[in-house]
């Protein structure tokens, strides 16, 4: 597991953690959510997208480059500079059944106290389309309409994740292989209450869509 964030050498703090990622392949490719990456970097401040490795306050900063993104499946593939890191193995594209035991590791509270990974475990509760019904027509936007026209399946999990878990690898408890990627949490009230009053409903993108993005971008490992 690695942290995904922004390094600004001219600011304090220099490092801001935005989410989680995990290493695949030869140890130089990292998978995370596309929405974890910043939409804009300040070149005047020398801002860079980086990953944080290690634990605690001694975590190291490593530079990366973005090699592929998918807004549809909310994936981003990064390539790390320097020495390779220990990698996880993506599972095959077959669906996991309801009730399968899974876990994920990430940084749910960000890097306020340092880089300390947290493990959550639960089960796959359901396989459902990505579209969540809107309460009223006022809540329907263009992005949601496009998703309705081209829905895909995600795992609904009976386990609580938090915003910093975005990009975490959801893995099979039996094999340790990556079965999905944590993508979002159902917010039952407001974004401000997502930590104090979590819904307990988390969604993960199927790993078969990761295979598709890697294949479409000719990324081999």
Q: Is residue 94 part of a domain?
A: no
Q: Is residue 96 part of a domain?
A: no
Of the residues 87, 111, 126, which one is the last residue of a structural domain? 87
Write the DSSP string, 13-75: SSEEEEEEEEEETTTTEEEE-GGGS-S---GGGT-EEEEEESSBTTPEEEEEEEEEEETTTTE
Each residue's pLDDT, cut to its tens digit, for the chain (221 residues) gives 899 999 998 888 888 899 999 999 999 999 999 999 988 888 888 899 999 998 877 778 999 999 999 988 999 999 999 899 999 999 998 999 999 999 999 987 666 556 888 899 999 999 988 755 444 455 555 655 555 566 788 999 998 888 788 999 999 999 999 999 998 754 333 333 334 434 457 899 999 999 999 999 988 76
Give a yes or no: residue 93 inside a domain. Answer: no
Give the number of domains in the chain: 2
- Residues 208, 109 share a domain: yes
Residue 41 is part of a domain; what is its CATH number?
Answer: 2.40.10.10
Please give the angle made by the CA atoms of 55, 186 and 54, to the nearest 5 degrees: 5
pTM for the model stands at 0.83
Looking at residue 132, the DSSP 8-state letter turns out to be P
Whether 108 and 83 map to the same domain: the answer is no
Domain that holds residue 63: 2-87
95 located within any domain: no
């Amino acid at each position: 597991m690695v942290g995904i964030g922004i390094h600004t050498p001219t600011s304090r703090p220099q490092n801001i953690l935005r989410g989680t990622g995990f290493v695949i392949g030869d140890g130089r490719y990292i998978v995370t959510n596309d929405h974890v990456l910043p939409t804009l970097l300040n070149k005047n401040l020398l801002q860079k997208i980086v990953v944080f490795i290690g634990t605690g306050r001694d975590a190291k900063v490593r530079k990366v480059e973005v090699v592929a993104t998918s807004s549809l499946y909310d994936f981003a593939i990064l390539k790390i500079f320097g020495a390779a890191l220990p990698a996880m193995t993506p599972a095959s594209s077959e669906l996991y059944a309801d009730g399968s035991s899974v876990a994920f590791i990430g940084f749910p509270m960000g890097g306020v106290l340092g880089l300390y990974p947290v493990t959550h475990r639960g089960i796959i509760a359901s396989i459902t389309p990505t579209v969540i019904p809107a309460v009223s027509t006022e809540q329907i936007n263009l992005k949601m309409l496009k998703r309705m026209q081209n829905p895909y399946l995600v795992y609904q999990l009976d386990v609580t994740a938090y915003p910093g878990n975005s990009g975490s690898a959801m893995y099979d408890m039996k094999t340790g292989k990556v079965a999905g990627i944590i993508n979002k949490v159902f917010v039952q009230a407001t974004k401000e209450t997502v930590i104090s009053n979590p819904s307990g409903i988390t969604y993960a993108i199927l790993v078969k869509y990761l295979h598709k993005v890697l294949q479409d971008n000719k990324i081999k490992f």
